[in-house]
Chain A
Amino acid sequence: GNSVTQMEGPVTLSEEAFLTINCTYTATGYPSLFWYVQYPGEGLQLLLKATKADDKGSNKGFEATYRKETTSFHLEKGSVQVSDSAVYFCALSFTGGGNKLTFGTGTQLKVEL
């Protein structure tokens, strides 16, 4: 079956540090890939997505590139802020069949002053 593996957290960084959260996937075929973010006490919201190989998704300074050869979709940000503290989920889905999402376990990010 399909699966998503993320690096374990928590990840603790100082403000303005560089962020990488690793995500790899296992799937038959070529899924769409997503990063969702969950702020404390809230539901998930889409951060960025990529629908085909070599696509780069970007939003709010975050970026991730769909790498077919390494089955990866690592999340990066050049300079994190305290307000980026949240849990980040990598996910995949296939068009059709209900567009169901398969999630990774999430990575908690804590950014300190």
Chain B
Amino acid sequence: NAGVTQTPKFRILKIGQSMTLQCTQDMNHNYMYWYRQDPGMGLKLIYYSVGAGITDKGEVPNGYNVSRSTTEDFPLRLELAAPSQTSVYFCASNLGGEVSETQYFGPGTRLLVL
């Protein structure tokens, strides 16, 4: 059971480039999330999904897109990268349902936009 895996671990982008951050979970969790963590700040929710085909915006969605075609995968797309998107990105998953369950986090992707 690998849990939540993220790729890549680290990436440098030039301003205006695009990329996809990959996230996969093997726990058959219904809910998945993308957060960004800026230095000295807590995590901010970018997007989340409560099941395949269903996504919704979080607190800071501008500049990002997501899709959820399968239960396992929840990629995050950055279009036209900007320096303000320099951050550490965490994917997480949650069993979902009526009880507020633990969120399981991936190891993170560190992104630097220059």
Q: Report A's interface with B, CB cutoff 8 A.
A: 4, 32, 34, 36, 42-46, 49, 51, 89, 93-96, 98-101, 103-106
Are A49 and B102 in contact (CB-based, < 8 A)? yes
In the complex, residue of chain A having the shortest beta-carbon distance to the beta carbon of B3:
A43
Question: In the complex, what residues of A have CB within 8 A of residue B4's CB?
Answer: 43
Q: Is the CB of B43 within 8 A of A101?
A: yes
B102 — which chain A residues lie within 8 A by C-beta? 34, 46, 49
Most B C-beta atoms less than 10 A away, residue of A32, A93, A99, A100: A99
- 9 residue pairs of the A-B complex, CB under 8 angstroms, read A46-B103, A89-B42, A89-B43, A93-B100, A95-B99, A99-B31, A99-B100, A105-B40, A106-B41
Contact B106 A95 (CB under 8 A): no
Query: Within B62-114, which residues are at the interface with A (CB < 8 Å)?
Result: 90, 92, 94, 96, 98-103, 105-108
CB atoms of B41 and A43 under 8 A apart? no
Minimum CB distance partner of A43 in chain B: B105
- Chain B residues whose C-beta falls within 8 Å of the C-beta of A43 in the assembled complex: 4, 90, 105-108
CB atoms of A44 and B42 under 8 A apart: no
| B57 shortest CB reach to chain A, Å | 11
Closest to A6 in B: B42
